[in-house]
Amino acid sequence: MTRFLRLCKIAFVIFYYGLDELVLSGFQNRHIRLLVRVISIGRRLDTVPRGVRLRLALTRLGPIFVKFGQVLSTRRDLLPADIADELALLQDQVPPFDPAVAVAIIERSLGRPLTQLFETFEYQPVASASIAQVHFATLKAGAHRGREVAVKVLRPGMLPVIDSDLALMRDVAIWIERVSADGKRLKPREVVAEFDKYLHDELDLMIEAANASQLRRNFQDTELLLVPEVFWDFCSSEVFVMERMHGIPISRTESLKAAGVDLHRLAEEGVEIFFTQVFRDGFFHADMHPGNILVSVQPETFGRYIALDFGIVGALSEFDKNYLAQNFIAFFRRDYHRVALLHVESGWVPPQTRVEELESAVRACCEPYFDKPLKEISLGMVLMRLFQTSRRFNVEIQPQLVLLQKTLLNIEGLGRQLDPDLDLWKTAKPYLERWMHEQVGWRGAWERIQVEAPQWAKMLPDFPRLAHQFLERRALVNNSQQDRLLAALVVEQRRTNRMLAIGLLLGGAVTIALVMTQLVDWFG
């Protein structure tokens, strides 16, 4: 019943904001256009712009739909400008909740009155997102007294709403698997399960604090990315206190130009940051929309990226990293045969797939887009053609890479805003080739030896004893096997002897019977 009521609410919001008319108006069929005119009777949909209606509807439907709008806002090549501009407001302009409620959550979670925790506290939130909102403050307690901080407070009552929407998504996923020819290949239930995990991780701010701490440690020896310091004494599952960062939002390109920031260099460094996270660390910020990225204008860190909001991160195994890197390099070298082989070797396509056919299909998808600046590449068209190709060859969607695909879309959106002429391929290719050399070359082998050496040093003194124990067990096993074999031979020999004895007795009895019969004939 709860799911049914939620579905009714979604239908009501769609109708109230005229999203049904917004979708159907794009069709040219005269029957559908007649339907649009009928359902529009009595509704003044022209008084509010369509982008505003879509943004308000997504906001009203809750955090999952807001997240969906955030991703869409970076895809200006797929959306009209008015809709993209409105959806961009979802990044950090979701209506805030009552500051008094935020203060109550802080005091309950940290166990002290607000006046004992902070010297100053700005009751008006500086940012409000779908999951939490942020207030600026100055620390009063502890060793960090006087430090400027950002206090992130979880929205109250989020879990029931998210669980309800996820239940609907699971139902839809099951329905897709049953009625769609591509249902099993697309693995919708696995994708929803991944989305479920990451959304619930966002509802525990201690997880986000740990993510921030890990990302800060990964980049502490580089000049690519700034990550705020975490103040663990002031963190809980509902409150996250971090260093306040000063910078210009990356979406404000005119302000960045006025401050003297080199946008072309910034775009290239953004690509390097992404590939460093994915292929060096296997741990990447997976919510890199413009609302979560600033650019520092402080003299000591001028022009460096600042990362915010660490609720969603992704992780890749060594197999995933190696497979992706080889695919990227093969794409950059236009080695489509290698791409096709990698798909077969990884099990993403059925083993009976003809490599030559898959190679030809991938070439047809990607070849037209090389040697073009980013502004002339419609990644939406590329993805659509690749999807059609994958359906033809029964390519299985990998749920563990869904976040990476989403992040790639965000990165492309950022690159398009900063420098439409950026050649994404040429920027990424040298980095990937260097990474592959480090992984498979002598340097990579030496680094792995250094990592494993302490474990080997610990095991080496035990090696003679372990070898002796192994040989003893092997000998016991061999002896045991021989004993079992001899016992089986003895049993078989006894069985054979019994059969021979029975045979001899029967033969003797038959012989005696024949002799007695013959004697009777003679003397009868």
80, 144 Cβ separation under 8 angstroms: no
pLDDT one-digit tens code per residue, 127-162:
887 788 999 999 997 778 899 999 999 988 887 777
Burial (Cβ within 10 Å: 0-12, 13-18, ≥19) of residue 142:
exposed
Which listed residue (20, 165, 287, 320) is catalytic? 287
The pLDDT, as a whole number, for residue 427 is 75
Instruction: Name the nearest CA neighbour of 53 among 76, 86, 26, 80.
Output: 86
Tell me, yes or no, if 423 is annotated catalytic: no
* Percent of the chain topping pLDDT 70: 65
Helix (H/G/I), strand (E/B), else coil: 79: coil
Where do we find the tokens 């901080």?
149
* pLDDT greater than 70 at residue 236: yes
Flag whether pLDDT at 2 surpasses 70: no
**Confidence band of 93 (pLDDT split at 50, 70, 90):** low
CB atoms within 10 A of CB 421: 11
pLDDT digit string (tens) for 97-122? 899 999 999 999 999 999 999 999 99
pLDDT tens-digit map of 151-192:
999 988 887 777 877 787 787 778 767 766 555 655 677 767
Tens digit of each residue's pLDDT (9 = 90 or more) over 201-228: 778 899 999 999 999 999 998 888 999 9
Q: How far apart are CA 39 and CA 18, in angstroms?
A: 9
- Report the 3 state secondary structure along 180-231: CCCHHHHCHHHHHHHHHHHHHHHCCHHHHHHHHHHHHHHCCCCCCEECCCEC
- pLDDT tens digits for 366-423? 777 766 665 666 555 565 566 566 667 776 656 556 667 667 777 777 777 788 777 7
Token pair recorded at residue 367 = 């070849």
Strand-pairing partners, residue 295, are: 248, 305
